[in-house]
Chains A and B, each alone.
Chain A
Amino acid sequence: MQRAADDGLEVNLALSRGRGDDRFSLDVSFQVPPGITILFGPSGTGKSTTLQAIAGLLRPDRGRIAFGGETWFDADRHLERPTRLRGIAYLFQSLALFPHMTAIGNVCYGIARSVAREERRARAAALLEKLGVAHLAGRRPRTYSGGEAQRVALARALAMEPRVLLLDEPFSALDRDLRAQLSADVRALVSERKLPTLQVTHHMGEARAMGDRVLRMAAGRIVESGTTAILDGHD
């Protein structure tokens, strides 16, 4: 079930959107090796946009995105690999759990269709169990608490055996204790799978607790990168 991580993710992208005062431009270049890389900065700096571009949910104007030897996007060569073939697990800020499916249904959704149905369900059940939410298996998302929903979304993201994990402010809606608990769980899961992980946050404590590396962003640019020590003085 585990997949050894390939090389990291290479990101080099630029885009601009809007006009006049609403104009927003993004120009970033960085790498995401196995482990957790934090994309840190205030709201509106382009962190989520960067994540969406990596996932192929929006198209950059220029640049290149590659994973290992595989090119996902290359503006010069007009190459664009569809989102569904990139092997990215994306944890959305809103979680985006399918409201009409049970936890098992949600988690099974990303497991390859070539896997037999019973096997898919068994894998999903095992992941829910591992994340401590096995009791939600047959229940739909509107009955979950905030923390439970996070765990089901995390199980769904991991069930597809991703090559890269993208987390968009994953714990923003949680209280402090739950945040600490889930942060520790995610760290353990990422290190166990050696997954290149890019996590967006504007929460200093979360960045410090989770990050192996930090990319500090401001106004669509990476202004500083290094260990979590670079966050000192930005409280």
Chain B
Amino acid sequence: MAGAWIPQGIRGGAVKTDRKSWIERLLGWGFGLLLIYASWGKIFNPLDFARAVENYRVVGYSLSLYTAAFLPMLEFLTGLLLLAGVWKDAASLVNLCLMAVFLILVAQAAARGLDIECGCFGSESQTIGPLKLAENILYALLAFILWRLIRSRPAGYAGRL
């Protein structure tokens, strides 16, 4: 209503919600674009990605092939959902799990002194080192923030467009 008095707390709360909403959107779009970009090269060159997975020496050749067959597509679909703002609850949780797994893999490779490429962006991947590790920590942190923001929404919101 025009000229209606709005208590300070509620007005402040509305501003806070707007800010949170924008952070959520930016993070969602950012991760959406990142995942789509990262998955694109890997979808069309799965054998290179399988070799990159095997280089981490966590799984053998067979499992690395299966990982290469489906993981890039999972990244791509998750990226699409985040970009479109659809099924944000599921997409943000999958995104968080992916970032956590990538962080663990990079950390263990760095700890073991493996001189390998990370395989994160297909043929444009960087060698694993302190910079790569810091980058992955940042991604995992931002993914966690995005997930928490979406989770804190009222029930029935997280799945809506």
The answer to whether A and B come from one shared complex is: no
